[in-house]
Amino acid sequence: MTPKLVLASSSPFRRMLMENAGLAFEAHAANVDERAIEAPLEKSGATPDEVALVLAEAKADEVSRRFRGALAIGSDQTMSLAAQVFHKPKDMADAANHLRMLGGRTHRLNSAVAIVRDGEVLWRHVAHAELTMRPLTDDFIARHLRRVGPKALASVGAYQLEGEGIQLFEKIDGDYFTILGLPMLPLLAKLRELDAIDG
């Protein structure tokens, strides 16, 4: 029998990617305190990839324990600029600071995905995208944030590429799925290998 798929996320974007791929699945948010997991990792000098992987696995693990026998898919994304790891902006002033730091520079999105069944990690993977923002003036940042409003607080970089955020960029290297936070091609390949989807 084909195992049930459970997406350990409440993200509408991740759900959309799974639906668009024609997968039959349920989506359930993981009951984990991401900041509590992240803080000791960052203190210990964990890389952005390691932080994203640990969080993806923690989400999938928690959901896998509620849905016995199912393949729980957890994902997480970190954003890094050189050695600095970014978190979602706390408020609009923080969003403006994010954009000021990112303007004219290349940052990296680190998208991790993990599959866990009954508390056992079956697979983990990290994909990357490199995004170069064009130089931004303070005046433009203020006008941009007024236009997009609180949506700027919903993502770690204070932008949504699928919306007006695309105007901030001059170059993007990486696939769409990695940028939205769920590397679909490696995930689909692994699900086929596990006989969880039609291969």
Catalytic residues: 76
Contact 145, 152 (CB under 8 A): yes
CA–CA separation, 80 and 74 (whole Å):
20
Classify residue 120 by burial, with Cβ atoms within 10 Å: 0-12, 13-18, 19+. Answer: exposed
CA–CA separation, 184 and 190 (whole Å):
10
Contact 72, 115 (CB under 8 A): yes
CA–CA separation, 46 and 50 (whole Å):
6
